[in-house]
């Protein structure tokens, strides 16, 4: 919703938490049966943004997949990648059939593996440690797996130039993690799967940059509206815990949406909103 508010778009959200590529395929193949009107909206949209693939991996037990990579047993991961790639290609084909003129964004998948991450259960964690693989290396194995998954998006685009644009959440989340690991971990919700509020904002900033690059959004309008949104939230939710006047002045001076995001979330880090 942040992108729609910033740019004064008419927008609809048809995301379903937990859905895999097979579930998305089922939904977009359906005739319109209810007020959601998903197929009609896809046919009429100027811009379509999709975040998919992550659950194909995460719902298949990431810990076991990491263990299979350590054991050099590729069948488990290869099977997931093969089926996901097949579903992904069909999703793109259907979307192009519905709306060949739409600008399509596919967001890739960030690495959610951190120390004490619940995605790796105690049994797998103990097994990895028994192989002299320290917990500090778990994330690197997650990266290997995520790179395989994200290659579905990049490889398809290489074979079909211009089919869509990639929103590279993986690289941006990793860049932030390398610069500030504490902030990097804050980009992912406590379930170790979904983006946190800040994570969503970082992704929105990536989308914003791409929209501006493609001349589909005006930076001046987006920055103005985003400043108003964050200042209103500061005043409404954090007036008792944050120096609202000071942070508001910093936000007003900001020159980009990403700068506003960093100022806002630095200020509210560790503070509970008051509803």
Comparing CA positions, the residue from 227, 232, 238 lying closest to residue 263 is 227
User: pLDDT 10s per residue in the chain (275 long)?
Assistant: 899 999 999 999 998 888 999 999 999 998 887 777 889 999 999 999 999 999 999 888 888 999 999 999 999 999 999 999 999 999 999 999 999 999 999 999 999 999 888 888 889 999 999 999 999 899 999 999 999 999 999 999 999 999 999 999 999 999 999 999 999 999 999 888 899 999 999 999 999 999 999 999 999 999 999 999 999 999 999 998 999 999 999 999 999 999 999 999 999 999 989 88
CA distances from 103 to 42, 126, 161, 214, 240 (A): 11, 46, 13, 10, 43
CATH architecture of 18-193: 3-Layer(aba) Sandwich (3.40)
Angle at 185 between CA 57 and CA 83, to 5 degrees: 10
The token pair at 200 is 């969503």
pLDDT in the model for residue 78:
96
DSSP string, 100-168: TTSEEEEE-------TT-TTS-HHHHHHHHHTT--GGGHHHHHHHHHHHHHHHHHHHHHHSTTS-EEE-
Cβ neighbours, 10 Å, residue 234 = 21
pLDDT in the model for residue 161:
98
CA distances from 41 to 14, 93, 210, 233 (A): 10, 17, 22, 30
- Is residue 103 a contact partner of residue 47, using CB atoms and an 8 Å limit? yes
CA 161, CA 182: separation in Å to the nearest integer?
37
- Is residue 3 a contact partner of residue 208, using CB atoms and an 8 Å limit? yes
**Hey, where are the domains in the chain?**
18-193
The token pair at 158 is 């290489």
pLDDT in the model for residue 73:
92
What is the helix (H) or strand (E) element at residue 251, kind and residue range? helix 244-253
pLDDT in the model for residue 32:
86
The token pair at 12 is 């609809």
The token pair at 75 is 């069948």
pLDDT in the model for residue 37:
87
| Sole residue written with tokens 């506003």 | 260
pLDDT in the model for residue 245:
97
CA 206, CA 225: separation in Å to the nearest integer?
17
């Amino acid at each position: 919703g942040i992108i729609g508010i910033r740019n004064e778009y008419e927008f609809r959200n048809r995301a379903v938490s937990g859905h895999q590529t097979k579930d998305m395929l089922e939904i977009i193949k359906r005739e319109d049966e209810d007020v959601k009107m998903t197929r009609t909206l896809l046919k009429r949209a100027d811009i379509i943004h999709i975040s998919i693939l992550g659950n194909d991996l995460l719902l298949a037990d990431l810990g076991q997949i990491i263990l299979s990579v350590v054991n050099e047993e590729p069948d488990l991961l290869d099977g997931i990648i093969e089926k996901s790639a097949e579903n992904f290609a069909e999703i793109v084909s259907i979307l192009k059939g519905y709306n060949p003129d739409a600008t399509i964004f596919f967001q890739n998948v960030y690495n959610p593996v951190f120390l004490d991450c619940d995605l790796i259960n105690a049994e797998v964690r103990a097994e990895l440690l028994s192989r002299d693989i320290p917990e500090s290396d778990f994330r690197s194995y997650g990266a290997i797996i995520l790179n395989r998954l994200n290659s579905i998006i990049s490889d398809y685009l290489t074979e079909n130039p211009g089919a869509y644009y990639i929103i590279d959440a993986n690289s941006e989340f990793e860049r932030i993690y390398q610069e500030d690991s504490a902030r990097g971990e804050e980009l992912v919700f406590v379930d170790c799967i979904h983006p946190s509020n800040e994570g969503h904002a970082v992704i929105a900033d990536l989308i914003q940059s791409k929209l501006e690059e493609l001349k589909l959004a005006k930076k001046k309008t987006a920055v103005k509206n985003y400043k108003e949104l964050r200042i209103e939230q500061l005043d409404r939710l954090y007036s008792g815990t944050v120096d609202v006047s000071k942070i508001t002045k910093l936000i007003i001076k900001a020159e980009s949406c990403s700068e506003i995001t960093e100022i806002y979330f630095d200020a509210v880090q560790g503070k509970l909103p008051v509803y």
